[in-house]
Amino acid sequence: MSVTAKPYRCTHCEHVRMVQTNHWGEVYSRCPNCSWKRPIDATVSVPVGPVPEGAWVPEPWQQVRLGDVAEIHGGGKVRGE
């Protein structure tokens, strides 16, 4: 599929902007309207309007925490002891 500009709406503030993508799924980029309010949170935008028949819609990303992907152990020696 070729890259085309499409309107996408921010899921936090509803701001609509044009985004160039090669799919019709979610995009994860900073919203110019509200990202400054949430510097740590992911900014997700979704396409506005109907998805054309047969268009590629990738699976949404899963938001995970460090403990979901790595084992965290406490204790151990602190440097300099």
pLDDT digits (tens, 9 = 90+) for 14-50: 999 999 999 999 998 889 999 888 887 778 899 999 9
Count the neighbouring beta carbons within 10 Å of the beta carbon of residue 70.
Answer: 8
Contact residues for 38 (Cβ-Cβ < 8 A; gap 6+): 12
pLDDT, greater one: 61 or 18: 18
State the pLDDT at residue 39.
Answer: 82
The pLDDT tens digits of the residues spanning 72-81 come to 777 666 666 5
Give the global pTM.
0.72
Strands (E), 1-81: 4-10, 16-21, 27-28, 44-47
Q: What are the domain boundaries of the chain?
A: 4-50+59-69
Q: Cα–Cα distance between 17 and 34 in angstroms, integer?
A: 12
Q: For position 74, what pLDDT does the model report?
A: 75
Q: Phi and psi at residue 58, in whole multiples of 5°?
A: -65, 160
Count other C-beta atoms under 10 Å from residue 26's C-beta.
18
